[in-house]
Amino acid sequence: MITGFWKKLKKPFFVLAPMADVTDCVFRALIAKYSGHGKASGGPDVFWTEFVSADGLCNEMGRKHLLIDLKYSEAERPIVAQLFGSNPENMEKASALVASLGFDGIDINMGCPDKTIEKQGAGAAMIKNLPQAKEIIRAVKRGAPNLPVSVKTRIGYNKNEIDTWVRGLLEEDLAALTIHARTRKEMSLVPARWEHVREVVDLKNKMGKDTLIIGNGDLLDIADARKKALETGCDGVMLGRAIFGNPWLFDEQKGIAVGQSTADDRVGLGSGNHAVTIEERLRVLVEHAQEFERVLCPHKSFAVMKKHFKAYVNGFDGAKELRMQLMNTENSKQVSEIIGEFLKKPL
């Protein structure tokens, strides 16, 4: 059943995927700042946190370590907290905690293929246990009765199981259901097959459900997302990997399409007269590193920033050499000095 902020979204809407060690509170703040969130120019219509262990939140030591993953700012609203777990009691307790922190919704991860998550019976392992998945959804609803509950999953485990697995989830009257258009077995090794998102939309309509369907997988930019929404009839589209090195993604004038590059700093990376220059991109990288260190260290290792270095620094002359230098940095001061030397300007 569609409740809460979900009822107010204009279709098609575009949302930010939850990605471990990527969409933390620092990067989300940059995305909100540079993609025009809350303005006519763009911004994700919904933010997601990284996924957080419900079991971990239910013990004192774990909660102390994990609460940083539930940190957010008002600039990110509406924001959904994503939880994973296979213990209904802990999912209920964790959901109550999330509600007390002021989140706008709760999402349950039922698609992550990570083996350590699956060993806990969570993530994509849920696809093999529909009765348990249903109980988890009901437990979350009990824990946070005033928040809309959604699920993110895949089309099946080893094969297309839309008519059984997805049907079962839709029976639980979720506010929204995100479909990653691959099976768990396929991981991200094959192209996402968006015709399956169309299948889910058709199934939902046939069942007479009003659950919002969100498509996910291999999207290049907002233009590509808009096209996929039109082709499949889904209500919204979730973008993930395209956000790497690209906090401008949700601004249709500035967003950098995956694979797009240029060596011309005057033209920059983007579209139209509002293209992002290489200098601007590198200065935001420095800002990212500084904020990561200020807010998240020592909760997280500064080495987490290395995956961002790879994304920000590509597609221009000297990028490879600059990237190699950045991969050896241990703090934001070193990052700032290296970028400053590259640009021959103080930062």
Q: Which residues belong to the active site?
A: 112
Spatial CA neighbour of 49 closest among 64, 68, 70? 70
Task: Give me the count of residues in the chain.
Answer: 347
Contact 154, 187 (CB under 8 A): no
Q: How far apart are CA 316 and CA 254, in angstroms?
A: 17
Contact 303, 346 (CB under 8 A): no
Phi/psi class of residue 316: alpha, beta or left (left: φ > 0; alpha: ψ in -120 to 50)?
A: beta
Which stretches does DSSP call E strand in the chain? 13-16, 47-53, 79-84, 105-110, 149-154, 176-180, 212-216, 236-239
Sheet holding 47-53, edge to edge: 13-16, 236-239, 212-216, 176-180, 149-154, 105-110, 79-84, 47-53
The radius of gyration of the chain from alpha carbons, rounded to an integer in Å, stands at 20
Reduced to 3 states (helix: H, G, I; strand: E, B; else coil), residue 238 is strand
